[in-house]
Copies of this chain bind each other. A is one copy, B any other.
Amino acid sequence: MIPTTRGAKERGAREPQETRGLILDAAREMFVREGIEAVTMRAIAKKVEYTPTAIYHHFRDKHALLRELCENDMRALAQAFQRSGKIEDPIERLRRIGQTYIRFGLENPSHYRFLFMTVTPEVDPGVEKGNPEEDAYSFLRRTVAEAISAGRLRLELTDPDQVALMAWSVIHGIVSLSIVFDNDDWIAWPDPEKTGLEGMDALIRGIVRER
Protein backbone atom coordinates (compact mmCIF):
# COMPACT_ATOMS: atom_id res chain seq x y z
CA MET A 1 0.00 0.00 0.00
CA ILE A 2 2.93 2.29 0.66
CA PRO A 3 3.60 4.00 -2.64
CA THR A 4 7.13 2.81 -3.20
CA THR A 5 6.06 2.13 -6.76
CA ARG A 6 7.50 4.14 -9.57
CA GLY A 7 5.67 3.79 -12.84
CA ALA A 8 7.57 6.40 -14.72
CA LYS A 9 7.86 4.36 -17.87
CA GLU A 10 10.53 5.24 -20.40
CA ARG A 11 10.01 8.85 -19.35
CA GLY A 12 12.61 7.51 -17.00
CA ALA A 13 14.44 10.17 -15.12
CA ARG A 14 11.29 11.64 -13.60
CA GLU A 15 10.41 10.69 -10.05
CA PRO A 16 6.86 9.36 -9.90
CA GLN A 17 5.18 10.77 -6.79
CA GLU A 18 7.18 13.89 -7.44
CA THR A 19 4.96 14.46 -10.44
CA ARG A 20 2.38 15.84 -8.11
CA GLY A 21 4.79 18.49 -6.90
CA LEU A 22 5.88 19.13 -10.45
CA ILE A 23 2.30 19.90 -11.44
CA LEU A 24 1.85 22.16 -8.44
CA ASP A 25 5.03 24.05 -9.24
CA ALA A 26 4.09 24.56 -12.86
CA ALA A 27 0.60 25.68 -11.94
CA ARG A 28 1.94 28.05 -9.32
CA GLU A 29 4.27 29.72 -11.75
CA MET A 30 1.59 30.28 -14.36
CA PHE A 31 -0.75 31.39 -11.62
CA VAL A 32 1.45 34.17 -10.33
CA ARG A 33 2.87 35.12 -13.69
CA GLU A 34 -0.23 35.30 -15.85
CA GLY A 35 -3.17 35.28 -13.44
CA ILE A 36 -5.72 32.67 -12.62
CA GLU A 37 -7.52 32.63 -15.94
CA ALA A 38 -4.31 31.69 -17.72
CA VAL A 39 -4.12 28.50 -15.69
CA THR A 40 -5.87 25.81 -17.69
CA MET A 41 -5.50 22.11 -17.18
CA ARG A 42 -4.22 21.77 -20.71
CA ALA A 43 -1.64 24.51 -20.27
CA ILE A 44 -0.35 22.99 -17.06
CA ALA A 45 -0.17 19.59 -18.70
CA LYS A 46 1.77 20.98 -21.61
CA LYS A 47 4.25 22.65 -19.28
CA VAL A 48 5.00 19.48 -17.34
CA GLU A 49 4.85 17.42 -20.54
CA TYR A 50 1.96 15.19 -19.60
CA THR A 51 -1.52 14.87 -21.00
CA PRO A 52 -4.26 16.84 -19.25
CA THR A 53 -5.75 13.60 -17.98
CA ALA A 54 -2.66 12.81 -15.97
CA ILE A 55 -3.37 15.72 -13.66
CA TYR A 56 -6.62 14.09 -12.59
CA HIS A 57 -4.63 11.25 -11.16
CA HIS A 58 -3.12 13.61 -8.64
CA PHE A 59 -5.96 16.09 -8.05
CA ARG A 60 -9.67 15.55 -7.96
CA ASP A 61 -10.32 18.56 -10.16
CA LYS A 62 -9.05 22.01 -11.03
CA HIS A 63 -10.47 23.61 -7.94
CA ALA A 64 -8.72 21.12 -5.67
CA LEU A 65 -5.45 21.87 -7.40
CA LEU A 66 -5.85 25.61 -6.99
CA ARG A 67 -6.87 25.23 -3.41
CA GLU A 68 -3.81 23.20 -2.57
CA LEU A 69 -1.79 25.83 -4.37
CA CYS A 70 -3.19 28.58 -2.19
CA GLU A 71 -3.26 26.76 1.08
CA ASN A 72 0.48 26.95 1.38
CA ASP A 73 0.35 30.67 0.88
CA MET A 74 -2.56 30.92 3.28
CA ARG A 75 -0.44 29.22 5.87
CA ALA A 76 2.44 31.53 4.99
CA LEU A 77 0.19 34.50 5.68
CA ALA A 78 -0.84 33.08 9.03
CA GLN A 79 2.79 32.54 9.89
CA ALA A 80 3.66 36.08 8.85
CA PHE A 81 0.97 37.18 11.28
CA GLN A 82 2.54 34.94 13.86
CA ARG A 83 5.74 36.88 13.56
CA SER A 84 3.95 40.12 14.39
CA GLY A 85 2.38 38.24 17.27
CA LYS A 86 5.40 38.99 19.33
CA ILE A 87 4.37 42.61 19.67
CA GLU A 88 3.10 43.06 23.20
CA ASP A 89 0.59 45.84 22.71
CA PRO A 90 -2.48 44.32 21.02
CA ILE A 91 -3.35 47.61 19.35
CA GLU A 92 0.08 47.98 17.86
CA ARG A 93 -0.05 44.33 16.86
CA LEU A 94 -3.34 44.94 15.09
CA ARG A 95 -1.71 47.68 13.12
CA ARG A 96 1.10 45.42 12.16
CA ILE A 97 -1.26 42.67 11.09
CA GLY A 98 -2.89 45.16 8.76
CA GLN A 99 0.39 46.07 7.18
CA THR A 100 1.38 42.44 6.70
CA TYR A 101 -1.98 41.69 5.12
CA ILE A 102 -1.83 44.61 2.70
CA ARG A 103 1.61 43.61 1.53
CA PHE A 104 0.57 40.02 1.05
CA GLY A 105 -2.38 41.09 -1.06
CA LEU A 106 -0.50 43.55 -3.20
CA GLU A 107 2.40 41.18 -3.77
CA ASN A 108 0.25 38.13 -4.54
CA PRO A 109 -2.84 39.46 -6.30
CA SER A 110 -3.62 36.11 -7.92
CA HIS A 111 -3.60 34.23 -4.66
CA TYR A 112 -5.48 37.04 -3.02
CA ARG A 113 -8.20 37.00 -5.62
CA PHE A 114 -8.65 33.28 -5.36
CA LEU A 115 -8.61 33.22 -1.57
CA PHE A 116 -10.66 36.26 -0.67
CA MET A 117 -12.50 37.48 -3.74
CA THR A 118 -13.90 34.32 -5.26
CA VAL A 119 -17.18 32.77 -4.34
CA THR A 120 -16.61 29.07 -3.80
CA PRO A 121 -19.56 26.68 -3.93
CA GLU A 122 -18.68 24.75 -0.80
CA VAL A 123 -16.49 25.29 2.18
CA ASP A 124 -13.08 23.72 1.84
CA PRO A 125 -11.59 22.96 5.21
CA GLY A 126 -7.99 22.90 4.07
CA VAL A 127 -6.25 24.93 6.71
CA GLU A 128 -7.24 24.11 10.22
CA LYS A 129 -9.80 26.66 11.22
CA GLY A 130 -9.62 28.13 14.69
CA ASN A 131 -5.95 27.36 14.95
CA PRO A 132 -4.16 30.73 14.95
CA GLU A 133 -1.00 29.16 13.62
CA GLU A 134 -2.68 28.18 10.40
CA ASP A 135 -5.77 30.33 10.25
CA ALA A 136 -5.04 34.00 9.73
CA TYR A 137 -8.51 35.15 10.67
CA SER A 138 -8.50 33.44 14.02
CA PHE A 139 -5.18 35.10 14.75
CA LEU A 140 -6.72 38.48 14.03
CA ARG A 141 -9.72 37.59 16.14
CA ARG A 142 -7.56 36.59 19.05
CA THR A 143 -5.68 39.86 18.91
CA VAL A 144 -8.94 41.79 18.98
CA ALA A 145 -10.24 39.67 21.83
CA GLU A 146 -7.08 40.45 23.74
CA ALA A 147 -7.57 44.17 23.20
CA ILE A 148 -11.14 43.90 24.40
CA SER A 149 -10.34 42.01 27.57
CA ALA A 150 -7.47 44.40 28.30
CA GLY A 151 -10.07 47.14 28.31
CA ARG A 152 -8.43 48.97 25.46
CA LEU A 153 -11.53 49.27 23.30
CA ARG A 154 -14.69 51.28 23.64
CA LEU A 155 -17.01 49.62 26.08
CA GLU A 156 -19.84 49.05 23.60
CA LEU A 157 -17.54 46.92 21.46
CA THR A 158 -17.88 43.52 23.03
CA ASP A 159 -18.03 41.13 20.07
CA PRO A 160 -14.52 40.21 18.93
CA ASP A 161 -15.85 38.83 15.65
CA GLN A 162 -17.53 42.08 14.79
CA VAL A 163 -14.51 44.22 15.58
CA ALA A 164 -12.19 41.81 13.81
CA LEU A 165 -14.40 42.05 10.76
CA MET A 166 -14.37 45.81 10.88
CA ALA A 167 -10.60 45.81 10.94
CA TRP A 168 -10.35 43.19 8.23
CA SER A 169 -12.79 45.16 6.11
CA VAL A 170 -10.78 48.36 5.89
CA ILE A 171 -7.75 46.42 4.80
CA HIS A 172 -9.52 43.99 2.53
CA GLY A 173 -11.47 46.87 1.05
CA ILE A 174 -8.35 48.74 0.02
CA VAL A 175 -6.57 45.67 -1.24
CA SER A 176 -9.44 44.28 -3.26
CA LEU A 177 -10.43 47.64 -4.71
CA SER A 178 -6.86 48.28 -5.75
CA ILE A 179 -6.76 44.88 -7.41
CA VAL A 180 -10.04 45.37 -9.24
CA PHE A 181 -9.48 48.96 -10.26
CA ASP A 182 -5.80 48.66 -10.93
CA ASN A 183 -4.83 51.01 -13.77
CA ASP A 184 -8.35 52.30 -14.00
CA ASP A 185 -8.70 56.02 -14.36
CA TRP A 186 -11.96 56.03 -12.44
CA ILE A 187 -10.18 56.55 -9.17
CA ALA A 188 -7.24 58.82 -8.59
CA TRP A 189 -5.28 56.13 -6.79
CA PRO A 190 -3.22 57.19 -3.83
CA ASP A 191 -0.62 54.68 -2.68
CA PRO A 192 -2.67 51.65 -1.58
CA GLU A 193 -0.33 50.59 1.20
CA LYS A 194 -0.27 54.06 2.65
CA THR A 195 -4.01 54.50 2.30
CA GLY A 196 -4.67 51.13 3.87
CA LEU A 197 -2.44 51.84 6.82
CA GLU A 198 -3.96 55.25 7.40
CA GLY A 199 -7.41 53.74 7.09
CA MET A 200 -6.45 51.18 9.71
CA ASP A 201 -5.10 53.96 11.91
CA ALA A 202 -8.32 55.90 11.56
CA LEU A 203 -10.38 52.84 12.41
CA ILE A 204 -8.19 52.12 15.41
CA ARG A 205 -8.65 55.69 16.64
CA GLY A 206 -12.36 55.08 16.29
CA ILE A 207 -12.50 51.89 18.30
CA VAL A 208 -10.03 52.49 21.13
CA ARG A 209 -11.34 53.66 24.44
CA GLU A 210 -10.71 57.32 24.99
CA ARG A 211 -9.10 58.17 28.24
Contacts and interface: CB of A to CB of B under 8 A. Distances in A.
Interface residues of A, number: 43
Interface string A171-200: 111101101101011111110000110110
Contact of A170 (B117, B184, B189, B199): B199
A188 B137 CA distance: 11
B179 A173 contact: no
Given A170-B173, A198-B166, A123 B206 contact: no
A190 B205 CA distance: 22
Contacts of A169: 169-174, 177, 195-196, 199
Given A129-B185, A159-B190, 12 more contacts: A113-B119, A119-B180, A137-B187, A161-B189, A162-B190, A165-B174, A165-B195, A168-B173, A169-B196, A173-B173, A173-B176, A202-B203
